[in-house]
Amino acid sequence: MDIKDEKEEPYKIDKKAMVLLASDIHMGALRTNISLFNDFLTNIISGLKVEYLKNLKALIILGDCFDIIMDNYEDFYEHKLYNDILNKFNILHEMDDFKLIFSLGNHEVSVKDDYDKNFLIEKSSFLDEFNKVNNQFGDKYSFLTKNNFSQYVILKNNISLKPELFLYDTKQQIAENKGIIIQLNIKASAKKNNNILLTHGFQFDPNLDFFSKVWDFSLKVKSKIVKEIADGIWNGFFKVIYNKGRRLRDYSEKRKDRLNKKGKRLLDKTTKSYFEKYKLEISELEKTRLDELIEKKYRADKHRDDIKDNSFNKKVETEFLPKLEDLGYKEHFNYIIYGHTHRRWPRTFFRRIKPIYQQLELFKIKDTFLFNTGAWQHVDYPSFIQIDNDWNISLVDIKTKISKVEEILEKPPSQRLKQELFKPQQQIQPQQEIQKKQGIELKLKKDYDF
């Protein structure tokens, strides 16, 4: 399997694409590119109908498509855009020779305690609640069946090298190969056996023990008004401030506690003003519940900082894969692809000086490479992954506009800059090292005209 670099043009689904992967759409929450996701589904359906995408056999959503923490099931039917997306899901589900698969995430089901042991119960509860509302609206959608939802999906080629999908709810099912098998009706050439694990990624969260309790608490909040207020304050206001504040916190560790305290005071003040502005009246119990929810989410969001030292990938190496081996799973994964973090990898920013294959070496566990799909919420650009019928993987950003700064970053480096950045390092005396550094800075300035 080869790795393709990102597309330069605003996104276009490859006509050779066999499987598409997307994650973290967060329907029902604020600050999500839901209209772009709706367009994305429209493009898939149109491409399938005119046979431009005649090789495309599956769309797999890797978790947190439906944000049950921030919204309730009824809104997916009452909100026109959400309802339009559900309609498109149903169209894809009912198409011949096409599969729509969902891997559930932590905004859809509780992952507290032994998530593998409890997953079947949680999945059933999620589908029961969804179908209860679906029934109220006249059983509009048929894709809400247990065979379309799982925790893990494995994409592999069989003995005849034809691609197959395997859906599993637990690691034990993976080890015992007791899952749903879906054969994709396509000839996909392969030079070797491919075995790709697809899942949401909460399983790899280094702080899962603590944060799973936060998510579980949030999922149990049933009050619609509490969900709406929490969404407005958290995603509509505070998350935006927090993302910017994180950069300040990173800039000065000494001010970390002060910034956190200031952020909490600002959050409390915003909550009160939010009530006053919209003349909202909620009970003391709901107010207490809301305060607890926002406070827990504030603390929970800090787990994103762990991505800096690849701690998600460390958990894959030290806990997840060894556990599978202990259960008797002997096959090797070429790739593990997940979402959850809202931070895609490989990153576009490094592309101008470091090709994809060199970035992948940073996210490699033995012979297994790790990819992240990115997200559709709280990101500059939504992204998705496509796997074509030659088993090539492409990471694609949906770029609606490019800023001047990004134009500079996207500009290909000159040959001289490449030689300077990638030539073998030699031992240099201190004075020579200073001179070399000054020389590179001058060349950078000349090449990019800063």
pLDDT band at 348 (very low <50, low <70, confident <90, very high): very low
Which has the higher per-residue pLDDT, 267 or 235? Answer: 235
The total of other beta-carbon atoms located within 10 Å of residue 180's CB is 16
Domains of the chain: 3-209+310-397 (3.60.21.10), 210-305 (no CATH), 413-448 (no CATH)
CA distances from 395 to 11, 165, 378 (A): 10, 20, 18
Over residues 237-247, the mean pLDDT reads: 60
Question: Which of 69-73, 217-221, 246-250, 343-347 is the least confident region?
Answer: 246-250
The total of other beta-carbon atoms located within 10 Å of residue 384's CB is 25
Question: Which of 115-129, 336-350, 359-373, 386-400 is the least confident region?
Answer: 359-373
Over residues 144-148, the mean pLDDT reads: 96
Assess whether pLDDT exceeds 90 at residue 110.
Answer: yes
Assess whether pLDDT exceeds 50 at residue 8.
Answer: no
CA distances from 55 to 20, 177, 258 (A): 11, 27, 54
Which has the higher per-residue pLDDT, 241 or 386? Answer: 386
20-31 pLDDT, tens per residue?
999 999 999 988
DSSP state at residue 235: I
Pairing of strands 180-183, 58-61: unpaired
Q: What's the one-letter identity of residue 139?
A: D
3-state secondary structure of 323: helix
Question: Which of 143-152, 160-169, 174-183 is the least confident region?
Answer: 160-169
- The whole-angstrom separation of Cα 424 and Cα 352 is 19
3-state secondary structure of 104: coil
Give the pLDDT confidence score for residue 231 in this predicted structure: 83
- The whole-angstrom separation of Cα 309 and Cα 250 is 14
What is the secondary structure of 12-56 as a DSSP string? ---TTEEEEEE----BTSSSB-HHHHHHHHHHHHHHHHTTTTTT-
183-226 pLDDT, tens per residue?
998 877 777 789 999 999 999 998 899 889 989 998 998 888 88
Give the pLDDT confidence score for residue 448 in this predicted structure: 40
Which has the higher per-residue pLDDT, 401 or 300? Answer: 401
Mean pLDDT, the chain, whole residue set: 78
State the pTM of this model: 0.76
Over residues 145-166, the mean pLDDT reads: 91
